[in-house]
Amino acid sequence: MARILIVEDDRAILLGIKQNLVYEGHTVLQAVRGDDALARVRETRPDLLILDVMLPGMNGFDVCRRIRDTDTRLPILMLTARTEEADKVTGLDLGADDYLTKPFSVPELLARVRALLRRQEAEEPALPERLEFADVRLDFGRYVATRGGVPVHLTAKEFALVQLLAAHNGNAVGRDLLIDRIWGSEALPSNRTIDTHILSIRAKLEPNPAEPRHLLTVHGVGYRFVTDP
């Protein structure tokens, strides 16, 4: 089941949503202020965000905008008491995936949550079992790596990083997603930890680690992997 973060300052609504999601088997996290929501997203790496528009500290529109600056994949379901079409358009244009107007029925909320989670799962790329590029051969199932036919030692985390980046087929992968998928609920590493692992992988697999051709930095976002530069 999913980790779902609810950001709602109405305690009664928050409790009602939480109880129903827990009954469905989800792990539920919560925040009541917009500025706290950003910290909770960074700390907990939720699978889905239920975000009220009218919040103390920072409104839901601004929270959504800030999240989308660094994470384009987190499903966001916005809640609001407003009925104006312009507000719905604003939320969707800022990157929300769905919009629900209060008052809403619990079955409809749960149906939208299920739909967003299904969509997220369907969009996850398949992880490759093997990878070949230049003179490098990687077998992710057996944790075997060679370069020019010579065995190379990669740690489990390094194998996982290369595998995840390769799965995205040349597209940029954000540091937050890398942390979530590789480290999960372990003690959360900093961006510097990710960078250190990438430098180590480059030193082992790149022809010239100072001028990488395959494991590329996307400034302000994260990294991408290309087989043929």
Structural domain count, the chain = 2
Distance CA 164, CA 173 (A): 9
The reply to whether 95 and 150 lie within a common domain is: no
**Residues near 84 by Cβ (< 8 Å), separated by ≥ 6?**
none
Distance CA 10, CA 122 (A): 32
Distance CA 81, CA 71 (A): 26
CB 53 within 8 A of CB 87: yes
The reply to whether 141 and 166 lie within a common domain is: yes
The reply to whether 117 and 15 lie within a common domain is: yes
Domain range spanning residue 219? 130-225
The reply to whether 111 and 170 lie within a common domain is: no
Question: Residue 11 CB: number of other CB atoms within 10 A?
Answer: 10
pLDDT value for 129: 92
130: which 2 tokens?
Answer: 């093997």
pLDDT value for 118: 82
The domain boundary residue, chosen from 80, 105, 123: 123
Distance CA 182, CA 179 (A): 5
pLDDT value for 59: 93
pLDDT band at 220 (very low <50, low <70, confident <90, very high): confident
The reply to whether 169 and 138 lie within a common domain is: yes
User: Model-level pTM?
Assistant: 0.59
The reply to whether 119 and 136 lie within a common domain is: no
The reply to whether 137 and 119 lie within a common domain is: no
Distance CA 159, CA 206 (A): 14
Is residue 95 predicted with pLDDT exceeding 80? yes
pLDDT value for 122: 61
Tokens 């390094």, residue? 158
The domain boundary residue, chosen from 98, 123, 148: 123
Is residue 184 predicted with pLDDT exceeding 80? no
Three-class secondary structure of residue 224 per DSSP: strand
- pLDDT tens digit string along 148-181? 999 999 999 999 999 999 998 888 888 877 887 7
